[in-house]
Amino acid sequence: MLTLRELNRATLARQHLLRRHQGGVTSVVHRLAGLQAQEPRPPYLGMWTRLDGFARDDLHAALRARTLVRATMMRATLHLVTAADFAAFRPLLHPLLAGAARRFPEIDFDAVAVVAERLLAEGPHTFNELRPRLENEFPGAYDRALGYAVRMLVPLIMVPTEDQWSFPRESAFALPGIEPAAEPDLGTFVERYLAAFGPATVADMQTWSGLTGLKSVMNGMRDRLEVLVDERGKELFDLPEAPRPEGDMPAPVRFLPDFDNLMLGHADRTRVLPEEYRGQVVTKNLRVRATYLVDGFVAGTWQIKRTGRKAKLLITPFTPVSPEVLEEEGMALLAFAEPDAEARSLEVMS
């Protein structure tokens, strides 16, 4: 039986939150099976907290070289993934994405996809550029529905720029130039998830991916997976050789960005987020706030306030905390996020 603390430490180990990964940006994104990237800045901060010696230019370079791409993936949301995982995962996610597009029944989906691919073959377009041209082809159709259908149905990547976080507010999209995997494999997809987020239930895997019907897939993999039980009797699947540290292993303070993987990778988030704090982290409009971990569990939220040349890290604790506990890691985060600030400070809100 796995205790809550053992489940916590296993997940942190795989998310490189016990010890920072010694390797490159592509390696750590592969090991995480992607990084949530709804906004441009969080992947940089999520990488910083997980990768030893991470430099901003390393991620810039990988995006420009297309070894890493930002694209609509799991849960029909934007993720940073390796080019190889884009090729392998995107076909598996097609039913999810196509289903999301069909919320607009008046759209001829196949025709829209064909036209969009023709237009994007000319070169990258922002959706503000693309929607009027789609309207010309489909008079009377709701322009936002046309754009949404294209996002879901046509495999696209976002085009990086020289902006601070690699992408402007209005990014251009392009055809990826990456051939999809010839034989997409759901079993490998499950194993990659467990390597990054396990041990986990079927519901956890379905929540992370957005796919349904995975119970039969995971049950069919029992001969190659380890089956465990948590304190509440829930059945968990895991890779036999995956790390599962003792529950008393020390866990350092870690700062996680908005929409971090750790907050979005499970149906049951109590392995890292105590239920009494969930409403303070996940807002009613489904924004997931930036958090920090103390002893492996979410202990509060944070934000950066910039005033002129000054940057301040504002901490909102859920339980009393001494600033000294957070200072070293927090100030290092602030230096990375606001390198041009002339003065930096940390403040714990009451």
The maximal CA–CA distance of the chain, rounded, in angstroms, is 63
Residue 202 counted as domain residue: no
Residue 254 counted as domain residue: no
Domain boundary (174, 207, 238) is at 174
Does residue 167 share a domain with residue 25? Answer: yes
Does residue 299 share a domain with residue 167? Answer: no
Domain boundary (139, 174, 209) is at 174
How far apart, in Å, are the Cα atoms of 24 and each of 61, 65, 254, 261? 11, 14, 20, 19
Report how far residue 91's alpha carbon sits from residue 79's, in angstroms, rounded to the nearest whole number: 15
- Rounded to the nearest 5°, which phi and psi values hold at 301? -120, 170
Residue 229 counted as domain residue: no
Q: What is the pLDDT of residues 115-132, one digit of tens each?
A: 999 999 999 999 999 999
Residue 183 counted as domain residue: no
Does residue 20 share a domain with residue 163? Answer: yes
Single-letter amino acid code for the residue at 11: T
Does residue 291 share a domain with residue 152? Answer: no
Q: Is the pLDDT of residue 105 over 80?
A: no
pTM of the model: 0.95
Does residue 148 share a domain with residue 28? Answer: yes
Q: Domain count of the chain?
A: 2
Mean pLDDT throughout 222-232? Answer: 96
Residue 326 counted as domain residue: yes
Q: Which residues form the domain of 29?
A: 15-174
Report how far residue 308's alpha carbon sits from residue 62's, in angstroms, rounded to the nearest whole number: 31
Domain boundary (156, 174, 192) is at 174
Given a contact cutoff of 8 angstroms between Cβ atoms, the answer to whether 13 and 245 are in contact is: yes
Q: What is the pLDDT of residues 38-90, one digit of tens each?
A: 999 999 999 999 999 999 999 999 999 999 999 999 999 999 999 999 999 99
Residue 182 counted as domain residue: no
Peptide bond into 199 cis (omega under 30): yes
Given a contact cutoff of 8 angstroms between Cβ atoms, the answer to whether 260 and 288 are in contact is: yes
Sign of CA dihedral 99, 103, 109, 115: negative
Mean pLDDT throughout 153-179? Answer: 95
Confidence of residue 184 (pLDDT cuts 50, 70, 90): confident
The whole-chain average pLDDT of the chain stands at 95
Residue 225 counted as domain residue: no
Residue 251 counted as domain residue: no
